[in-house]
Amino acid sequence: MAEEVLISNKQVVLKNYVIGFPQESDLEIIASSIELNVPEAIQDAVLVKNLYLSCDPYMCGCMSKPVGPSIVSSFEPGKPLYGFGVVKVVDSTHPNYKKGDLAWGVPGITAFGGFHEVCSPKKGEYVFVSAASGAIGQIVGQFAKLLGCYVAGSAGSNEKVDMLKNKFRFDEAFYYKEESDLDAALKSRFPEGIDIYFDSVGGKMLDTVLLNMRIRGRIAACGMISQYNLDKPEGLRNLMSIIGKRVHVEGFVTGDFYHLYPKFLELIIPYIKQDEIVYVEDVGEGLESGPTSLIGLFTGRNVGKQLVVGAHE
């Protein structure tokens, strides 16, 4: 019989469904206590301790009231948020997990699958990444550089632009809010046009990129964060470029690539060990920092991959 210990347990709870971007006031921290064991009568159950929690933009959509069928399920008002993370098994009645096991995992798999599987990149191609200092963008850019591509990125502050150029070794980067003419900003970085656009923002940036694609260019539609808080998304007017330039646009979600996890780890672990891929994380300490950390994604306050540390072990 497992030992029975009552401990305090904090949760970040959704107060009400959100319209537009969520605010910190839409979330609250609730404390209760739980027993650290899985009752033996419950088969195949696992109790875990959250070490690292991942804050991801898709969670915005989960806070809205569900309208019709959707591929992401909504959070429920009054119930805790859930997502990806690194967890430690505290108790288990599941045959595949035992106490002390660590389980994955924060997606870098999205960058891997989205770039290598969707974009079919080739050495020497011209690659543009938006939200390039973010969790996915920074990895996509480094994958592209390692493959021998030319890479430019856009980001939401001068600090992030510096990071792209100096830390992540992008060839070019710009602060999109300071560019009065987005088309000119792209043309000056891509005089030959863009072969691959890894899109995490949508809206006006995507529309302008469409004007700058090369023949048989590819657009990986990963996210459209610029649109998540709008009642009515911005209108895109340059779709006609898709025909003449024979552009491929392809949407995907992280779950499409789970089967590639072993291949992903095989590729990325040596790169990380040899410092050929570096990673910037923005870490909130303690679950109390959860609301601030999560909402920061939508105001652009965070730099790099946003995490919340629940516990270090």
Sign (positive or negative) of CA dihedral 140, 143, 149, 152: positive
State yes or no: residue 273 binds a copy of itself (CB under 8 A): no
Residues 69-108, one symbol each (x = binds a copy of itself by CB under 8 A, - = not), give -xxx------------------------------------
Using the contact rule CB under 8 A, the part of the chain among 28-36, 80-88, 171-179, 238-246 near a copy of itself is 238-246
Q: Which two tokens stand for residue 243?
A: 């025909």
How many C-beta atoms lie closer than 10 Å to residue 296's C-beta?
A: 18
Output the smallest distance, CB 242 to a copy of itself, in A.
Answer: 4
State yes or no: residue 237 binds a copy of itself (CB under 8 A): yes
The burial of 244, by beta-carbon neighbours within 10 Å (0-12 exposed, 13-18 middle, 19 or more buried), is given as: exposed
Q: Cis bond leading into 296, ω under 30°?
A: no
As a whole number of Å, the end-to-end CA separation of the chain is 24
State yes or no: residue 64 binds a copy of itself (CB under 8 A): no
Using the contact rule CB under 8 A, the part of the chain among 174-182, 232-240, 279-287, 305-313 near a copy of itself is 232-240
Residues 187-226, one symbol each (x = binds a copy of itself by CB under 8 A, - = not), give ---------------x---x--------x-----xxxx--
How many C-beta atoms lie closer than 10 Å to residue 203's C-beta?
A: 18
Nearer CB in complex with a copy of itself: 45/211: 211
Nearer CB in complex with a copy of itself: 82/252: 252
What residues are paired with 175 via a beta bridge? Answer: 155
Q: Which of 249, 260, 280, 283 binds a copy of itself (CB under 8 A)?
A: 249
Q: Which of 5, 30, 102, 236 binds a copy of itself (CB under 8 A)?
A: 236
For residues 221 and 159, give the distance between their C-alpha atoms in angstroms, rounded to a whole number.
26
For residues 89 and 28, give the distance between their C-alpha atoms in angstroms, rounded to a whole number.
26
For residues 44 and 62, give the distance between their C-alpha atoms in angstroms, rounded to a whole number.
27
Output the smallest distance, CB 248 to a copy of itself, in A.
Answer: 5
State yes or no: residue 240 binds a copy of itself (CB under 8 A): yes
